[in-house]
Structure 1
Amino acid sequence: MTDLWNLSAPWWHFVIRGVAIYVLVTVLMRVSGKRAMGQFTPFDMILLILIGNAVQNGINGGDNSLTGAVIMAGTLIGLNLAVAWGSARWRDFRWLVEGRAVLLAEHGRLDHRMLRRELVSEEDFLNAMRLTGCSDIADVRRATLETNGHITIELERPARQR
């Protein structure tokens, strides 16, 4: 029963491990691109589960105590709150963590190079247009890939009534 609470390493090892893995996974997700996070497919769910499993030992170092779990969970929640706090207060920090919105189309002209760079298929773009009620690229004033991976479309004129 005492093994349930006894740490296998000093408490600060768990904090350092938690910070290191949090930063690593954040960087990996940031590198994966906005679109990967905005379009959550079954494959993305599998990837998240596998990443969680892959980094588990990196965080806990083989420790299975409840004390270690509480320290790691507290560290991760604290880091998440710190990132949210920093993002809300400093624009440059938010851009570093979340990235910037990207212009995909303007005044009826689609930027194919930007679509490729941001890993957005033309089908995904056309789907976003349809969801906005737009059937013709000429009606698009601006199309922006937001930092959350969603495509926002502003129309030159209101969508036609059906």
Structure 2
Amino acid sequence: METVTQLFGEGENQTVLQMSLRAVVIFIITLLLLRIAGRRSFGMKSPFDNIIVILLGAILSRAVVGASEFVPTIAAATVIAVLHRIGAWFGALNLRFGALIKGQKIVLFQNGKLEKENMRRALVSESDLYGCLRSSMNVENFNTIESAYMENNGQISFVKKHAE
């Protein structure tokens, strides 16, 4: 036990080597926790998925700097990863639950007109929408666009009109 204390330190006063060793261990544990949470935790970037990134960073940093005890900190981080995995699993099985925790798309443009109320709700200005249109579709107006959506991850997507 004394060797472990010498290697990793105790409390908040560690040497550079001790804190570096803690960081290595936390890095490995974080990789394992992210595998438990699933790939979507970094792929989807919805608020539901961003929660795990923020919480794991906040919780696990405490173990690196010694602000909290090591084992309870790892236990709390594991609970967060497992909750994320369970939430994603239930969200994939049940559309209502999925919409509740992951959000839903918001229609910003359809039937040839801007959906002003939805744009206000999504905090998207006309200027924002036109900027996204130019950068992602390389067009200046909505003549070739069927619809536009703010996706649950915050990105704006466009659907082209079908060629007639």
Q: Counterpart of 1:123?
A: 127
Q: Counterpart of 1:99?
A: 103
User: Could you list the runs of 5+ residues in structure 1 that have no partner in the other structure?
Assistant: 5-35, 38-47
Q: Counterpart of 1:76?
A: 80
Deviations 1:84-123 (A, max 9, x none): 1111111111011011111110132111121111111222
Q: Counterpart of 1:110?
A: 114
Deviations 1:10-48 (A, max 9, x none): xxxxxxxxxxxxxxxxxxxxxxxxxx96xxxxxxxxxx6
Give the number of the structure whose alpha-carbon radius of gyration is greater. Answer: 2
Aligned partner of residue 120 in structure 2, secondary structure: helix
User: Could you list the runs of 5+ residues in structure 2 that have no partner in the other structure?
Assistant: 9-45, 48-53
TM-score, normalised to structure 1, is: 0.57
Would you say how many aligned residue pairs link Structure 1 and Structure 2? Answer: 110
In structure 1, what residue type is equivalent to 2:104? R
Q: Counterpart of 1:140?
A: 145
Q: Counterpart of 1:66?
A: 70
- Judge conservation of contact 2:130–2:141 (CA < 8 Å) in 1: no
Q: Counterpart of 1:155?
A: 160
Q: Distance in 2 between matches of 1:82 and 1:139?
A: 41
TM-score, normalised to structure 2, is: 0.56
- Judge conservation of contact 1:143–1:154 (CA < 8 Å) in 2: yes
- Judge conservation of contact 2:111–2:147 (CA < 8 Å) in 1: yes
Taking only aligned residues, the RMSD between alpha carbons, in angstroms, comes to 3.0
Q: Which has the higher contact order (CA 8 A, sep 6+)?
A: 1
Q: CA deviation at 1:81?
A: 0.7
Aligned partner of residue 93 in structure 1, secondary structure: helix
Q: Identity over the aligned pairs, expressed in percent?
A: 23
Q: CA deviation at 1:144?
A: 1.1
Aligned partner of residue 92 in structure 1, secondary structure: helix
1:89 lines up with 2:132 in the alignment: no
